Amino acid sequence: MRDKLKMAIVGLGFGAEFIPIYQRHPHTEMYAICQRSEEGLRRIGDHFGVPARYSSYAELLQDDEIDAVHINSPIPDHAEQSIAALLAGKHVACTVPMATSIEDCRRIVEAQRASGKTYMMMETAVYTREFLYVKQLRDSGRLGRIQFLRGAHQQEMAGWPGYWEGLPPMHYATHAVSPLLALAGKDAEVAICLGSGRITARLADKYGSPFAVESALFRLKDSDLAMEVTRSLFETSREYVESFDVYAEKTSFEWQQLENEDPVLFIGEEAKRVQVPDYAHLLPEGIRPYTTQGVYDAQENRHLSFKQGSGHGGSHPHLAHEFVMSIVEGRSPFPDVYTSANWTCAGLCAHESALQGGAPIRLPDFRQAGN
């Protein structure tokens, strides 16, 4: 392996946030960008001084200089682009969700196995400062036995690109699902979900999904734990929130009600608000500033996901670092391809349950060869 991994970023809306991170990471060279718009390629490439620029994804994959591809394209493209990159011999990081069907998740798992290359779904929710704080409480024993977990992701998607319109809420559930499963250290096994309310026919007809809100209970594999997840995307009034609550034997954690508040710790029946620290010290010095600031262009031009999500809890440099170091160290990333598939299929199976009036749906187990 060469001294520095040569990185390519595909999709330059949200994806441009990662360019300076890879430029400043000690083990990467920010080598190539890809976008359909020639004007966008020129503007962003010149702004950041990225040498290789492609308007064709197929041509990018033919470039033998590229070691790893970070995909930030629209959701409908995630599966095909991930598979193509893996089979072209590139390591793959892909923004969430992994795919929008169980079959496409299976195909990505098979492509990763066939290629032997790294696949990591870049799930922001398991690298936020809040998650890292609660993980530290768990690992230190301060939580005690976890007894129940609850997650929510409520977001108004009006004004986003057209493919979002009417998207079933649970098809994009990984932000709410992943911190719960990561803290439990388990896979989801069975989903039972109910749809609630109705969105307008114009939206519902896009995907055949009528529900304004989907709320699911999950049974976890090889565990006595259950968890609850609620999702909404349209016509449900709520400030943006990606939250998780953990109820445990000694200490419980509840997400704040409003964005400008602090979360709450319960020790027994006593409650106190806590200020969650930043975890930049876990990162190489050159990329530490990016846990607390955006990295591309002026505030008014930042990608909507970054503004709505309040910078995704400082997760971007942690994600990039984990992906890079998993390759450098020859180990599986977190999440690896199997965990990524489980987190994604949790939502897909939950939506299927909602369409069936709450029937239990068992998730596929991709860790078993042939499944």
Q: Which CATH code, of 3.40.710.10, 3.20.20.70, 3.40.50.1970, 3.40.50.720, is assigned to 5-125+315-336?
A: 3.40.50.720
pLDDT value, residue 301: 47
Three-state secondary structure call for residue 182? helix
Torsions phi, psi for 263 (to 5 deg): -70, 170
User: Which residue, among 136, 345, 307, 132, has the nearest Cα to 221 in the 3D structure?
Assistant: 345
pLDDT value, residue 294: 66
Determine the Cα–Cα distance for residues 213 and 311; give it in Å rounded to an integer. 25
User: Which residue, among 58, 242, 247, 236, has the nearest Cα to 149 in the 3D structure?
Assistant: 247
Produce one character per residue of 144-166: b if its CB has 16 or more CB atoms within 10 Å, e if not: eebeebbbbbbbbbeeeeeebbb
Determine the Cα–Cα distance for residues 237 and 352; give it in Å rounded to an integer. 25
CATH superfamily for 126-284+346-362 is: Dihydrodipicolinate Reductase; domain 2 (3.30.360.10)
Domain ranges of the chain: 5-125+315-336, 126-284+346-362
pLDDT value, residue 310: 46
CA dihedral 295, 68, 121, 314 (to 10 degrees): -20
pLDDT per 10-residue tile (average), the chain, 371 residues:
91 93 98 94 95 98 98 96 98 97 98 98 97 98 98 93 92 97 98 98 96 98 98 96 97 95 96 97 96 60 46 91 98 98 98 98 87 57
What is Dmax (Cα atoms) for the chain?
60
pTM above 0.85, yes or no: yes
Determine the Cα–Cα distance for residues 49 and 107; give it in Å rounded to an integer. 35
pLDDT value, residue 288: 96
DSSP code per residue over 56-98? -HHHHHT-TT--EEEE---GGGHHHHHHHHHHTT-EEEEESPS
CB atoms within 10 A of CB 326: 18
Structure tokens at 340: 């990524």
CA dihedral 296, 302, 303, 308 (to 10 degrees): 130
User: Which residue, among 76, 166, 132, 115, has the nearest Cα to 281 in the 3D structure?
Assistant: 132
In single-letter form, the type of residue at position 250 comes to K
User: Which residue, among 78, 62, 266, 87, has the nearest Cα to 171 in the 3D structure?
Assistant: 78
